[in-house]
Structure 1
Amino acid sequence: MRMKEDAMRNGQTKPGYNLQIGTGNQFITDFALFPNPTDTLTLIPFLQSFSSRYDRLAHTVVADSGYGSEENYRFMSENGMEAYVKYNYFHMEQRPRFKPDPFKAENFYYNEEQDFCICPMGQKMQRIGTRHVKTASGYVSENARYRAIRCEGCPLRCRCFKAKGNRTIELNHRLRKYKQKAKELLCSEEGLKHRGQRCIEPEAVFGQMKNNMNYKRFRHFGKDKVFMDFAFFAIAFNIKKMCAKMTKEGMDWLIRPFYELTVVLFRC
């Protein structure tokens, strides 16, 4: 897979693992190694490993847009988790000058009761069928298909689409609902708190690990040995941090729980 450090700047691929960690109060609460270069396919197995380690699922999950897929949102929803997980273009939507593109299918008006859409010109688009899309993990999503009745002669056609015939769009209604719920959580008072915490939770751990401790490469080969390699580092890291807190805050610090069941995800 492609690494973040690319000295030659040629996109060279190297053997490696996608390291995922969960943190709470800047302690490493869980970690896992994956061969997947993208983060989307790692969230569910990571949360399952957290459950097997602590015998319960995390009640709050905070992660960036790399984890915002329909499959992941559905898993967290069905397991009663609060998903403060961003989706693609969330940051763009928060900009003061952001204006939604009225010609994008996801911005069309949708009538849920009668199941039809309205295009920017005001034309009704009828439901013509459903298309099922299978992801790399085997998850099947359902996309509803809608088609305009007559696009010929429309004054907005040049801005709307360039294909021949009448415009056909696909909408994933389930994903739209998950995104709307995620947006409400992320923009709430608690969501703003978690978004701010997300910037300092795992980033501090990786900053200490890579820059202060110079731990940038695994010392072994093979997944089992690499797992052991990082496990020893995580234990030492947590002990070092615990000793620093005890020195700074006294022995009373031990009375408080050193982690909460809040998983903050980050990839290395």
Structure 2
Amino acid sequence: MIEQIRFHISELEAMKHYPSVLFYKGNTDLLYKKKVAIVGSRKPNQYARELTHKLSMKLSQVGICIVSGGALGVDAIAHKAAGAHNTIMVAATGLDKRYPSINKNIIADIEKSGLVLSQFQEGTPSQKYNFPLRNEVVVALGDVLVVTYADFNSGTMHSVEYALKMGKEVYVLAHRIGESEATNDLLLQGKAKAIYDLDAFVAKFAHPKSSESILDAFLLYCQSNPTYEEALKKYPSKIFEAELNGTIEIKNAKVYTV
């Protein structure tokens, strides 16, 4: 079901113009988590594909939500590696469409257990001028922007421009000379920082083991020792995060606080 967001999202204040309307499908609890935006080329090389997957997965495993635009290439890899339950996709069409169609299954999964956002009315097709608007929302939602592969004059570099204007840190993968020339140029100009060690980067943003992001109401609920199925239905995103962080444990199909 397509619904309209009726509350203010503080991160979007960084945009040039706060969206006049936002529609969504899925779990809006993800908006309250730490978030990293990951973007890049629709045709990344194998090195970038592999590291995009590893980075997104590692960030998700420590409870950080991955934000991207649902496009081919880097976006789709980041969404899949994070897991549908822990990713936010920002669409460039109305939410009655799943674009690009080749990613329709990924998008459907995110709609069910993650979050899909759009500032476009139902029926809006993919149009050239929609993508910069989509990209600005992606960048605004992320605490930082990670670019894993990009060429000059690409939409990805427009995202970098948004991030720099918003005062957000930009991180890129270190590439060989002649590959991902746009991100290499960002490093040369001092506009981005290189990620040399994935684990060290993830550690900078990881939640502490006490999991401050888990709401007190959730922990109180878990103290009543609900079944795993009950807890999953009531708090679909929080239970995964809490289990990964060691805040709860599952025994005999029941939930216990640690």
- Mark yes or no: TM-score above 0.5: no
Relative CO higher for 1 or 2, CA cutoff 8 Å, sep ≥ 6? 1
Higher helix share: 2
TM-score (norm 1): 0.27
TM-score (norm 2): 0.28
Higher strand share: 1
